[in-house]
Structure 1
Amino acid sequence: MIKKLSIASRADALSWYCAILLLGLILLGSIRENSAADESTIRGSQLFDRPCDEIYVVGEGETLHTISDKCGDPFIVEMNPHIHDPDDVFPGLVIKITPSNPRKFLR
């Protein structure tokens, strides 16, 4: 019986070491993932200077005026006949953007 307890205690200790090792690898992977994400983060005014795609989906709190300023397209209403009321813009609305002065992405 002494051998069985000894083997069981070794197996128990080995399982704890494996659990600790697995937890350490998960934490290490998480740290690396976060540091890689920080390098590609857009900060400050860079968000407003990035170019807009031709197809744009309106986000929460955006208006045609803010989208026009951000994307450089003063003729959004004229290019989107499905917008009947410029004040009735809602999140998820898909619009076509044709920038008159393309902006460059800052790095």
Structure 2
Amino acid sequence: MGSSRSPVCYADAARWYCIIFLVLLVLLGSFTEDNSLIKKINPASDHTCDEIYVVGEGETLNTISEKCGDPFIVEENPHIHDPDDVFPGLVIKITPSSPHI
């Protein structure tokens, strides 16, 4: 008759596939939305925001300030009365600070 593999062999293969999948998942998780790894490799990639910025889901003024290099978002946007009341779709003006050399 033909050769058949034992259930133990299939279990070992399945375990290795799970391990490889988990390792890939962890590696992909290291590339977060803020692309920290990319910023460490190429710091010049910071401050890539347009002058007019539309707030996205889950963003705060603090995260936008860090992302765009503008520490004075509230002062430059008088229509923002409460810095904690930021919502997706809100349009704000961005004035990035000059890069430090």
Interval of TM-score (by shorter of Structure 1 and Structure 2): 0.5 to 0.7
For structure 1, the 5+ residue unaligned runs are 1-42
For 2:64, the equivalent position in structure 1 comes to 67
Q: Which of these two proteins has the greater Rg computed from alpha carbons?
A: 1
Work out whether residues 79 and 96 of structure 1, in 8 Å CA contact, stay in contact via their aligned partners in 2.
yes
- Percent identity of paired positions between Structure 1 and Structure 2: 80
More helix by share: 1
For 1:31, the equivalent position in structure 2 comes to none
Q: TM-score, normalised by structure 2?
A: 0.53
Equivalent residue letter for 1:100: S
Q: TM-score, normalised by structure 1?
A: 0.51
For 2:53, the equivalent position in structure 1 comes to 56
For 1:76, the equivalent position in structure 2 comes to 73
CA distance in 1 between counterparts of 2:47 and 2:76 reads 21
Once the two structures are TM-superposed, the CA of residue 77 in structure 1 deviates from its matched residue by: 0.3
For structure 2, the 5+ residue unaligned runs are 1-33, 40-44
For 1:89, the equivalent position in structure 2 comes to 86
Work out whether residues 55 and 95 of structure 1, in 8 Å CA contact, stay in contact via their aligned partners in 2.
yes
User: Which of structures 1 and 2 has the larger relative contact order (alpha carbons within 8 angstroms, sep 6+)?
Assistant: 1
CA distance in 2 between counterparts of 1:63 and 1:102 reads 22
Number of positions where the alignment pairs a residue of Structure 1 with one of Structure 2: 61
Work out whether residues 57 and 92 of structure 1, in 8 Å CA contact, stay in contact via their aligned partners in 2.
yes
